[in-house]
Amino acid sequence: MTEVMARVVETARANNATKVTAIHLVCGAVSGVVPDCLHFCFDVCAADTIAACATLAIETAPVRWQCRACGRLLDGDERTGYDACPHCHAHAIELAGGREFFLKSIEVE
């Protein structure tokens, strides 16, 4: 979160902004990041910065799997996952999404 805040402040300054009004984050469903903790960390990290009054919007990225054999993307759940690809039946499924955590955009004034 400290890194994210640094990016936010840097971006705002680059745009000659006086205030950051909103911060949009993308957080994967299995990234291990807990939204409640993010809000708390944000309050701590944003205090005394130009983003102190910004609204924190967290978007959850769904878990996705991809078959390495046929390349198809599959929607899925971390708990169930897939033993084999439902399309080509290869046992080559890997996690393709859901672990990301990044700054999507910010709104400034």
Q: Write out the residues near Zn ion by the rule CB under 5 A.
A: 67, 69-70, 85, 87-88, 90
Q: Would you say 13 or 87 has its CB closer to Zn ion?
A: 87
The whole-angstrom separation of Cα 101 and Cα 91 is 28
The whole-angstrom separation of Cα 80 and Cα 62 is 14
Q: Compute the least distance from the CB of residue 87 to Zn ion, in Å.
A: 5
Q: Would you say 53 or 88 has its CB closer to Zn ion?
A: 88
Q: Compute the least distance from the CB of residue 70 to Zn ion, in Å.
A: 3
Both tokens of 80, joined, read: 């169930």
Q: Compute the least distance from the CB of residue 71 to Zn ion, in Å.
A: 7
Query: Cβ distance 87 to 65 under 8 Å?
Result: no
